[in-house]
Amino acid sequence: MSAAERYTIGELARRAGLSVKTVRYYADSGIVPPTDRSPTGYRLFDGEAAARLELVRTLRDLGVGLATIRRVVDHEVPLHEVAAAHAEALAVQIRVLRLRQAVLTVAARRGSDPAEVDELHRLAQLTGRERGHLVGDFLASVFAGHGDQPAYPGAIVSMTPELPDDPSTEQVQAWLELAELCREPTFRASMRRMARQHAADHDVPGLPRPDAVAVVRDGAAPALAAGLDPTSPAADPVVAATTSRYASLPGHSDDADLRQRLLDRLVLANDPRRDRYLDLVAVLNGWSTGDATVPAVDWFIRALRARMPEQAR
């Protein structure tokens, strides 16, 4: 061994950026054994030992246990197998940490009491099957008796969330909020009323087929963005065009009965939780979130009411 390759424990420790105590422990335990001794009995290490120590330090920094490290440096197990197994174990730990972070973040934001923290933790740990059952029960409640209508299968798909196997913290937080919405009785009732009203509209011959909320959102959004007063005469063309498009029947834009039906439909649909539910589904499914419908619906409701007899508003 040349002089250039002779390192004392102190020199080896400085080279590796470790404490002398740590290197001495590795030497005493045989993980990085000395390769020679000086005339005065000091342990010496060569370049191969220095490289071995570098590997030990790296694996320790990555969280690998000493028992496994010994097997690697002694060539009892391939390094790539250890790396793969450790990476898989870390993936599980990361997922658990994300769940915990999401629960604690939501709890901190809400100022949750112990009971709510416990419930959030339970919801975060549901299996895929349990999550599917919770959402399925909610959708079955909303579309009870109407799921076979042509308009509903697509709506059910668009309202079905799928939490990925490796969700982000944001997705876990979205799941927690969505799960609570699904179990909220008033939200279930609101969504069920929307579905029934939509079904009733489609059961009557001659009534419009387009979705009222989508039509109003598209028709009123430009006027809302322009700051147009919904009660002013300047809004008349917007009201007439949007109502006519909803009707899909020429000459019915001024029909009072149609306006009343549209107003009833919009009042039922004007629940901000509906927008929030769809945004949460988009986060979970990796879709882009849509524009909020409530501001445009609010605008159009005011516009309709301003153009109806006072007793009908």
Q: From CA 300, how far away is CA 303, in angstroms rounded?
A: 5
Sketch the domain layout of the chain as residue ranges: 3-76, 80-121, 126-312
Q: What is the pLDDT of residue 312?
A: 54
Q: Minimum mean pLDDT among 34-38, 118-122, 146-150: which range? A: 146-150
Q: What is the pLDDT of residue 251?
A: 44
- pLDDT bin (cut points 50, 70, 90) of residue 210 is low
Q: Render pLDDT for 137-162 as a digit per residue (tens, 0 to 9).
A: 999 999 887 545 545 667 788 899 98
Asked if pLDDT for residue 67 goes beyond 70, the answer is: yes
Provide the Cα torsion 256, 258, 261, 262; round to 10°: -110
Q: What is the pLDDT of residue 252?
A: 47
Provide the Cα torsion 301, 303, 308, 309; round to 10°: 100
Q: How far is CA 164 from the centre of its chain?
A: 9
Compute the mean pLDDT over every residue in the chain, rounded to the nearest whole number: 86
Q: Minimum mean pLDDT among 73-77, 94-98, 227-231, 289-293: which range? A: 289-293
Residue type, 293: T
Q: Render pLDDT for 230-276 as a digit per residue (tens, 0 to 9).
A: 999 999 999 988 888 877 644 444 567 778 888 888 988 889 999 99
Phi, psi of 37, rounded to the nearest 5 degrees: -135, 150
Q: Are the C-beta atoms of residues 202 and 148 closer than 8 Å to each other?
A: no
CA terminus-to-terminus distance, the chain? 98
Query: DSSP character for 7?
Result: B
Q: From CA 13, how far away is CA 19, in angstroms rounded?
A: 6
Name the fold adopted by 3-76: Multidrug-efflux Transporter Regulator; Chain: A; Domain 2 (1.10.1660)
Residue 250 corresponds to which tokens in the numbers above? 């020429």
